[in-house]
Every structure is written in structure tokens, then in C-alpha cells.
Amino acid sequence: MSMTLGELLKEVVETPQSWANRLAIGLTTNSRDVRAGDVFFAVRGGQRHGLEFLEAVRSAGALAVLWEPPWEEALPGDDSLLLLAIPELRRKMGEIASRFYGEPSRHIPVVGITGTDGKTSCAHFLAQA
């Protein structure tokens, strides 16, 4: 799959015009999985922020880093890697990923089963239907 950054990020963040037509090849939250052309989501984890892995991501050939504020340190300016701050990025990652992968949940029936008793039985009955 691939998608332009402008299409991927529309309604989420303004993409600089010079970057809008560049193709994103993949998405990842793990700096060790970044490949050339990927978009890396840099969010705060339990102990570290994804921006701590910026050099590894750059070396791997990432196209862009979407990062979640706050971040107190200065970020290096570089024309080879787009850095975009997106408030509440963790909440918006699902929307971005859904768009990138063709909004798969629109093509798959989704059913929720709640209650105190009988959830497992209902799930089995539904799976057989």
C-alpha cells in the first residue's frame, strides 16, 4: 500500500505543500521496524518518548515523523525528514491508519456482545451464522 502524505493526513494536520505529494509506504510505531518511505508515530510510552529514536528512524529512511507534544528539546531541522507535531496523536493514530489501509472496518461487519451471562455462547452462535 501507499498513499500521499496530503491524503493520509487530511483533516488531521496541515501538510506542507512541498511534502503533500510524497508517498508514504507504511506506518509504524516501532523505530526498529522503520523502512524507507515509512511514517513513524512518535508518542510517549511508559518510560520513553518515540522522539528519542529520531536518529534511528532517520537512518532507516523514514519519510515523516508524526510526534505527540510535549517535547522540550529542540528538534533538528532537516529537509530529508518531515517532522509534524500533532496534539492528541495517540487518539488520531487509528483514524490515520484506517485511512492508509483503506478503511477496512467499513467492509467488515462488527458486532459487540455485552452482558453478564452468555457472551461466549452468543459469540459462538454468531460465528456459526
Please indicate, yes or no, if residue 113 is contained in any of the structural domains: no
Can you give the residue range of the structural domain that contains 95?
3-104
Q: What are phi and psi of 64, to 5 degrees?
A: -150, 155
Please indicate, yes or no, if residue 125 is contained in any of the structural domains: no
Please indicate, yes or no, if residue 21 is contained in any of the structural domains: yes
Please indicate, yes or no, if residue 84 is contained in any of the structural domains: yes
| CATH number of 33's domain | 3.40.1390.10
Please indicate, yes or no, if residue 122 is contained in any of the structural domains: no
Please indicate, yes or no, if residue 39 is contained in any of the structural domains: yes
- Render 84-121 in DSSP notation, one character per residue: EE-TTHHHHHHHHHHHHTT-GGGSS------SSS-HHH
Please indicate, yes or no, if residue 63 is contained in any of the structural domains: yes
Count structural domains, the chain. 1
pTM, 2 dp: 0.81
Question: Each residue's pLDDT tens digit in the chain (129 positions)?
Answer: 899 999 999 999 999 999 999 999 999 999 999 999 999 999 998 999 999 999 999 999 999 999 999 887 777 777 889 999 999 999 999 999 999 999 998 888 888 999 989 999 999 999 898
